[in-house]
Chains A and B, each alone.
Chain A
Amino acid sequence: MVLAVVIFLLVIGSIIFHFASPWWFTDIAADWGLIDLTITITFIVTGIVFVLINVFLAWCVYKYRQKPGHKAVYEPENHKLEVILSVVTSIGVIAMLAPGLFVWALFVNVPDNATEYEVMGQQWQWAFRYPGADGQLGTADTQLVTESNPFGVNPEDPNGQDDKIVLGPEMHLPIDKPVKANLRSNDVLHNYTVAQFRVKMDLVPGLISYLWFEPNKVGRYDILCEELCGIGHFVMRGAVVVDSQADYDVWLAQQPTFAETQAMVAADPASGQAQYAVCASCHGVQGEGNIALNAPKLAGQSAWYTERQLNYFKTGVRGGEGDTNGQMMAPMANMLADANAVRNMAAYIESLPDVPAAPTVTGDVENGASIYNRNCAACHLDNADGTWYTDAPKLSGMSDWYFLTQLQNFRTGIRGLHSNDYYGEQMVSMATAMSGIEEYEDVAAYINTLR
């Protein structure tokens, strides 16, 4: 009796929840309204079945509950009823399957006028490549990947020379043009998902998968990885910006071609040295750092990382509100006139003799080792030397007190939440995954043993 009522109420409750739920598909931003339509059809068919069977179930439980003098009816089979139910069910299934396959056929067959771009995933970043004027992407191979050729573009392939290389995880697309994404991975499975576009597909190392869609709404949308890809899976984020054609063209023109990235002249440390005097007043002549002036050790840090941070200070990505020490870096970084000056400075700093900084932090080394090896080593490596591949800077032998302030800044959102700080956001998530300052100190103490 109670059970019958409860089942009935659950049916009613489920319907109410469905219509009252604020959690529903995000507004669609691609021309895949047909997918939403098939979902609606499926909802109607399954919804009717859900209500009919469960209400009938509740009614049976109520009506035929055991009572004195009541006896069950002996009816082993009812051939006719079983045939009718089979036919009706089959019709319902066809009603859902047929439109589903029809739309799938549209998804499988990419229109001829779709322009291509490439999405590359690796632990735990996105990067993108667009064809140049020839409209063709050059061939690429994971085995060709190096720090200066992170896409592994085949340098022998003339089609690849004018390919536009986008190393940040933010990509742009023109509105109302069908596009086909070729998906590639350098390490493990990833999945390229933009909820607003409705379609998704895995990136598989060793093969090129694809999907296509036609963005139809200007805006900025999150790219999420939706195939488990290791412990950084939940921080593998990117963004796609849908632009008007004109804005898109301007953006694309700013991106370097593959040939340009390969033809860049080597950075000149000597030229960097000339400007280093300003830095030396705080960071020391040998870049050894000075805790009294809140200036971390620089020597030994990889050039790619120093270059990126200097650019962040120049453009205000770092040194914003709450970051009092970082704010002092903005005018300093701005003394470097252009991109080449920044590169030269980073190259000079990398060339400084790397003498490990004196430890200032104490903590539980064993606990720090456990935390570090489980959660940090995947990017920063077992020896804490860092690697360009995961965008992880060197930690070993660097200023441990600075490591603590930065983790605190990540935790409180002072660092890493600027919309252009593509890589810092990951550290916000990792810093909040630790319980707080004591664990930071433990990790710092462990890193101090790695010099």
Chain B
Amino acid sequence: MAYVPLADQEQELHHPHSWVTKYVWSQDHKVIAIQYAVTAIAVGVVALVLSLMMRMQLGFPETFNLIDPSEYYQAVTMHGMIMVVYLLTALFMGGFGNYLIPLMCGSRDMVFPFMNMLSYWVYLLSVLILMASFFVGEGPTGGGWTLYPPQTNLAGTPGHDSGIVLMLISLAVFIVAFTMGGLNYVVTTLQSRCRGLTMMRLPLSVWGIFVATCLALFAFPALLVAAIMMLFDTLLGTSFFMPAVIESGTPLDHNGGSPVLFQHLFWFFGHPEVYIVALPAFGLVSDVLSVHARKNIFGYRMMVWAIIAIGALSFIVWAHHMYVSGMHPYFGFFFATTTLIIAVPTALKVYNWVLTLYEGDIRLNAPMYFAIGFIFTFIHGGLTGLFLGNVIIDLPLSDTYFVVAHFHMVMGVSPVLVVFAAIYHWYPKITGRMFHEGMAKLHFWCTFLGTYAIYLPMHYLGFLGVPRRYYALGTTDFIPQSAQDLNTAITIAALFVGASQLLFFSNMLWSLRNGKKADPNPWGAASLEWQTAETPPIHGNWGAELPTVYRWAYDYSVPGAHKDFIPQNTPESIEPTMDEQHFDPDLDKSKADL
């Protein structure tokens, strides 16, 4: 039998026969994407509420008494873990990855639809296990989202009995779920692209999610083994991470383990994790910027190589989270150098985003507001990273509010602005309706200005030396009362931002019914997902024939073209592809020596 490339094989689709198989046990990547996104956002709301409870304590330490120290540390831990893993990772990969990869690749579905469905249900299971820890024993673990031993296993930490066990099991289950989804994203991107869609013609969204998935597939196993070893320490009394320690005056039966080993394993996962969240955001925002600036993304090939370079480098910078961990200080030289090197490709991406706007024809709608807002917050968060990455400067700033402010700017606010940009941008395709533009813009102003009001001053608490993870500041000689007043102001801003997210939820729900009916391609975008016959796309995405691609995804405002954008599947007979005017990152060998 002659060889037929996977992308050209007729795919057996599991067509639904009832409401249950269509919307519950669905194997359609678009339904699974929505299931992933709704679950992730729902659990994210839990984490948001936890953060507001912490802010109430910090802003009004003796007024409300909403939570005691024990609950505060549980809130710290759960907020961090949920936001990083169960919200952002799941939303970017399971949500956007699932929805966009097959559509942007011009394929009918993920390569393994059944495994894709399984991935979601196992993810849901991991969320339920995590949530269960609120209701058993002493509640969830309060060891901090980094779960550092020996603390997590000792009596001085809340949830050291069942909370930590459920957390570790939940993480292990999450990793199983992610692996099933992740293999799908990688194989689909590599094997299931339609005719003519070479890797160098892919939209950057796919590139970002693809590389991030590769990172995750390499990084999560480190967390998995760490979780399993810690479970052994907790349940079976092994000493992988447990040296000889005293628990409340009683020596424990552990000896010889290394707490620092756990930190290495954790951050070998934990740092790539930052880019697992950031790279999809980079990709998605590139597409939003390019479409609404009516201009090609500037320096496409450099953007692709920057994503790959950042992804590769992210595996050799992990110990910059451990400069003050007590590891050998000579490591500091190596990790500070690699960490600051990673700033170069990252900065180039920022330049290219801004240069995409330069000489563009910028359509200032809600998705674009969020995308431009992202550039601002990401510049801020990226630059403060240069303080913390430079090992000697990390000494005064480590474990202060500067760190909290930095990582919330760079991997809290920035990716979340991209999430909103992307949801508004693709909402018409996903639902077939337009969102309410005014409400979306109001949502932008509240979120963008509100979060900056939270995090800009927070850096200065860090300079002052206010330590993070303190239930209350108590009395010190060097922290003035004004720092407490600033904390109160930050809390008010946080409550405002939290409440303003209702605008988003109302908009999403209201527009589902009352939004204007959307055109198939309301933004005039060139990439494939906007070229489907139906909106929202049917199961199988395309009609009888899969699309064929003739050009890259960024042919906007091409001189001499009929319109200000050329869809990727426009044949050569209608718009030429290879002449002086038409750039193709895949074919244009004259410029390929970069």
Report if A and B associate in a common complex: yes
Judged by a CB distance under 8 angstroms, whether A107 is at the interface is yes
Judged by a CB distance under 8 angstroms, whether B537 is at the interface is no
Least CB distance, A438 to chain B, in whole angstroms: 11
A63 to B233, CA, bound (A): 61
Judged by a CB distance under 8 angstroms, whether A384 is at the interface is no
Residues in chain B near residue A234, CB distance under 8 A:
69, 469-474
Judged by a CB distance under 8 angstroms, whether A279 is at the interface is no
Which residue of chain B is the closest to A28 with respect to CB atoms? B396
Judged by a CB distance under 8 angstroms, whether B18 is at the interface is no
Judged by a CB distance under 8 angstroms, whether A103 is at the interface is yes
When the two chains form their complex, are residues B476 and A222 in contact, meaning their CB atoms are under 8 A apart?
A: yes
A107 to B324, CA, bound (A): 12
When the two chains form their complex, are residues A193 and B471 in contact, meaning their CB atoms are under 8 A apart?
A: no
When the two chains form their complex, are residues A381 and B360 in contact, meaning their CB atoms are under 8 A apart?
A: no
Least CB distance, A124 to chain B, in whole angstroms: 8
Residues in chain A near residue B475, CB distance under 8 A:
417, 425
A377 to B70, CA, bound (A): 11
Instruction: Write the B480-498 contact mask toward A (1 if CB under 8 angstroms, else 0).
Output: 1011001000000000000
Also in contact, A26 and B259, with CB within 8 A (given A230-B151, A234-B472): no
Least CB distance, A296 to chain B, in whole angstroms: 24
When the two chains form their complex, are residues B343 and A89 in contact, meaning their CB atoms are under 8 A apart?
A: yes
Judged by a CB distance under 8 angstroms, whether A248 is at the interface is no
Judged by a CB distance under 8 angstroms, whether A292 is at the interface is no
Residues in chain A near residue B348, CB distance under 8 A:
82, 85-86, 89
Residues in chain A near residue B386, CB distance under 8 A:
42, 45-46, 93, 96
Also in contact, A21 and B478, with CB within 8 A (given A188-B156, A200-B399, A205-B259): no
Q: A378 touches which one: B155, B369, B387 (CB < 8 A)?
A: B155
Judged by a CB distance under 8 angstroms, whether A207 is at the interface is yes
Interface size class of A (residues with CB under 8 A): 35 or more
When the two chains form their complex, are residues B243 and A24 in contact, meaning their CB atoms are under 8 A apart?
A: no
A182 to B407, CA, bound (A): 30
Judged by a CB distance under 8 angstroms, whether A390 is at the interface is yes
Judged by a CB distance under 8 angstroms, whether B284 is at the interface is no
When the two chains form their complex, are residues B243 and A23 in contact, meaning their CB atoms are under 8 A apart?
A: no
Judged by a CB distance under 8 angstroms, whether B228 is at the interface is no
Residues in chain B near residue A71, CB distance under 8 A:
294, 361, 557, 564
Least CB distance, B68 to chain A, in whole angstroms: 5
Judged by a CB distance under 8 angstroms, whether A7 is at the interface is yes
Least CB distance, A369 to chain B, in whole angstroms: 12
When the two chains form their complex, are residues B364 and A97 in contact, meaning their CB atoms are under 8 A apart?
A: no
When the two chains form their complex, are residues B460 and A207 in contact, meaning their CB atoms are under 8 A apart?
A: no
Judged by a CB distance under 8 angstroms, whether B10 is at the interface is no
Residues in chain B near residue A72, CB distance under 8 A:
293-295, 359-361, 556-557, 564
Also in contact, A97 and B326, with CB within 8 A (given A72-B556, A206-B259): no
Judged by a CB distance under 8 angstroms, whether B300 is at the interface is yes
Q: Which residues of B in the span 281-326 have a Cβ within 8 Å of any Cβ on A?
A: 293-296, 298-302, 324-326
When the two chains form their complex, are residues A143 and B325 in contact, meaning their CB atoms are under 8 A apart?
A: no
A432 to B68, CA, bound (A): 10
Interface size class of B (residues with CB under 8 A): 35 or more
Judged by a CB distance under 8 angstroms, whether A56 is at the interface is yes
Residues in chain B near residue A434, CB distance under 8 A:
65, 68
Judged by a CB distance under 8 angstroms, whether A329 is at the interface is no
Which residue of chain B is the closest to A59 with respect to CB atoms? B358
Also in contact, A228 and B391, with CB within 8 A (given A93-B340, A195-B478, A234-B474): no
When the two chains form their complex, are residues A77 and B299 in contact, meaning their CB atoms are under 8 A apart?
A: yes
Which residue of chain A is the closest to B353 with respect to CB atoms? A57
Also in contact, A193 and B245, with CB within 8 A (given A96-B340, A104-B333): no
Residues in chain A near residue B400, CB distance under 8 A:
226
Residues in chain A near residue B521, CB distance under 8 A:
none
Residues in chain A near residue B591, CB distance under 8 A:
77, 79
Residues in chain B near residue A90, CB distance under 8 A:
344
Judged by a CB distance under 8 angstroms, whether A49 is at the interface is yes
Least CB distance, B182 to chain A, in whole angstroms: 31
Judged by a CB distance under 8 angstroms, whether A50 is at the interface is yes
When the two chains form their complex, are residues A57 and B375 in contact, meaning their CB atoms are under 8 A apart?
A: yes
When the two chains form their complex, are residues A230 and B395 in contact, meaning their CB atoms are under 8 A apart?
A: no
When the two chains form their complex, are residues B594 and A79 in contact, meaning their CB atoms are under 8 A apart?
A: yes
A373 to B294, CA, bound (A): 61
Q: A101 touches which one: B324, B333, B460, B557 (CB < 8 A)?
A: B333
When the two chains form their complex, are residues A206 and B65 in contact, meaning their CB atoms are under 8 A apart?
A: no
When the two chains form their complex, are residues A226 and B464 in contact, meaning their CB atoms are under 8 A apart?
A: no
When the two chains form their complex, are residues A435 and B65 in contact, meaning their CB atoms are under 8 A apart?
A: yes
When the two chains form their complex, are residues B376 and A57 in contact, meaning their CB atoms are under 8 A apart?
A: yes
When the two chains form their complex, are residues A73 and B243 in contact, meaning their CB atoms are under 8 A apart?
A: no
A186 to B295, CA, bound (A): 61
Also in contact, A24 and B460, with CB within 8 A (given A96-B390, A97-B390): yes
List 20 other contacts, CB 8 Å, given A3-B372, A7-B376, A206-B258: A66-B294, A66-B364, A72-B557, A74-B557, A75-B295, A78-B355, A93-B340, A104-B392, A183-B326, A207-B260, A221-B477, A224-B467, A229-B156, A231-B73, A231-B156, A234-B471, A234-B474, A378-B156, A378-B248, A388-B249
